[in-house]
Amino acid sequence: METERSLAKCGDFDLMIEDHGWLIIRGDFDYDGTSQGFTPYFADPSIIMRLLRAIGVDSLNDIEGKSCWVTHTNDEITKIEPLHKKEGETFDILAWKKWAKERLPKISPSEYMTGKKP
40-87 pLDDT, tens digit each: 788 989 999 999 999 999 999 999 999 999 999 988 999 999 999 888
Amino acid at 44: D
Asked if residue 74 is part of any domain, the answer here is: yes
Q: Which residue has the higher pLDDT, 100 or 91?
A: 91
Q: Given this model, what pLDDT does residue 90 score?
A: 96
Asked if residue 117 is part of any domain, the answer here is: no
Q: Is 90 exceeded by the pLDDT of residue 35?
A: yes
Q: List, in sequence order, every residue forming a beta bridge with 33; answer none if it has no partner.
A: none
Helix, strand, coil shares of the chain, percent, nearest 5, are 30, 35, 35
**111 touches 117 (CB < 8 A):** yes
**Share above pLDDT 90 across residues of the chain, in percent, rounded to a whole number:** 69
Asked if residue 62 is part of any domain, the answer here is: yes
DSSP state of 107: -
CA dist 51 and 10 (Å) reads: 11
Asked if residue 83 is part of any domain, the answer here is: yes
**55 touches 47 (CB < 8 A):** no
What is the SS3 assignment for 56?
A: coil
pTM of full prediction above 0.75:
yes
Q: Is 80 exceeded by the pLDDT of residue 15?
A: yes
Asked if residue 12 is part of any domain, the answer here is: yes
Number of domains in the chain: 1
Of all helices (H) and strands (E), which one includes residue 13? none
Asked if residue 73 is part of any domain, the answer here is: yes
Domain that holds residue 101: 4-109
